[in-house]
Amino acid sequence: MKKSLMFMCLGMLWMIHPVQADGIVSVQQIQTAPVNYDGKEVKLRGIAKNATRLPMVDLKSYVLADSSGEITVLTESDLPRMNEEITIRAKVKILAIVKGEAMGLTVTELERYEQQQEL
């Protein structure tokens, strides 16, 4: 009985927090339940596009698009090549949670892995 209860709990956790086999989290997973990722590091993979650089305030960002959606990524590194698939390790933070709603979602790149392929 205890074993079946343990498997049922593990199954429920997997459904709540699904991750691909290679540890990649989809953009949709973060956007659907940002509170689950607040303060956590995640691996994301997608196409880099829409770069922004504002030198006066030392801000660099780009949009990372995967098959499930798009998310803005802040970076202190050089901007990635546009329209190129990249994999990153990033930290997700939420500025505030008001009545269960996440406000001020930020994704900050911590590490960029070797480039996967060019389009």
Q: Which CATH number goes with the domain that contains 85?
A: 2.40.50.140
- Domain assignment present for residue 6? The answer is no
Residue 4 in any domain: the answer is: no
Report the chain's C-alpha Rg in angstroms: 16
Domain that holds residue 95: 20-118
Model confidence, pTM: 0.76
Q: Considering its fold, how many domains does the chain have in total?
A: 1
Q: How far apart are CA 83 and CA 119, in angstroms?
A: 6
The number of angstroms, rounded, from the C-alpha of 86 to the middle of its chain's C-alpha atoms is 12
Q: What is the pLDDT along the chain (119 residues), one digit of tens a residue?
A: 555 555 454 455 444 444 444 799 999 999 999 999 999 999 999 999 999 999 888 899 999 999 999 999 999 999 999 999 999 999 999 999 888 788 899 999 999 986 655 44
Report the length, in residues, of the chain: 119
